[in-house]
């Protein structure tokens, strides 16, 4: 993530998200970017198309564990956001399809690269719960420690066996 991505959120996305009552309008991507630069366990990414930020992703890569009994390490999605014009719930059809899905799949790839077998976890904002269900993430239910946000998780990525 570069400064221009943060600037796009602050200067373009934020007002639209506020006007439309989106829960992520108040996220501070400047803080997330700064933490990513100063703390090795955080990583920040962006998708840009035609000179404009289309999606943002903030990951934690070291401290989170699976909710499954084995408690394997996983990549935790601290924040994932698509530009308002890419959200099917706000703009149908969206300007670009698949931005959120691409970011989620990238988190899975980072998990593989870190040796976590594709495991990814996150707490979803209420408006995004169906998005994660549609991507076949396990629904762990509401988490009383996280304001009852629902926890979602991808387990180990099974690799295909060529016969």
- Residue 73 burial (C-beta neighbours within 10 Å; 0-12, 13-18, 19+): middle
CB atoms within 10 A of CB 46: 20
Report yes or no: 109 and 115 within 8 Å, Cβ to Cβ. no
Q: Is the pLDDT of residue 163 over 50?
A: no
Q: Supply the pTM of this predicted model.
A: 0.92
pLDDT digits (tens, 9 = 90+) for 65-122: 888 777 899 999 999 999 999 999 999 999 999 999 999 999 999 999 999 999 999 9
pLDDT at residue number 161? 42
Mean pLDDT score of the chain, rounded to an integer?
A: 93
In this structure, what token pair is assigned to residue 106?
Answer: 């990238």
Which helix (H) or strand (E) element contains residue 139?
Answer: strand 138-143
Q: Is the pLDDT of residue 10 over 90?
A: yes
């Amino acid at each position: 993530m570069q400064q221009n991505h943060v600037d796009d959120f602050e200067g373009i996305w934020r007002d639209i998200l506020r006007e439309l009552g989106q829960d992520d309008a108040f996220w501070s991507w400047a803080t997330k970017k700064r933490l990513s630069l100063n703390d090795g366990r955080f990583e920040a990414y962006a998708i840009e198309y035609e000179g404009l930020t289309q999606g943002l992703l903030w990951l934690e890569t070291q401290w989170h564990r699976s909710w499954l009994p084995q408690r394997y390490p996983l990549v935790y999605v601290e924040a994932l956001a698509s530009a308002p014009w890419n959200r099917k719930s706000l703009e149908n059809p969206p300007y670009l399809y698949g931005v959120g899905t691409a970011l989620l799949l990238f988190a899975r790839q980072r998990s593989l690269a870190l040796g976590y077998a594709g495991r990814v976890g996150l707490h979803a904002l209420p408006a995004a719960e169906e998005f994660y269900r549609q991507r076949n993430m396990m629904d762990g239910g509401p988490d009383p420690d996280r304001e009852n946000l629902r926890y979602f998780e991808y387990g180990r990525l099974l690799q295909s066996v060529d016969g």
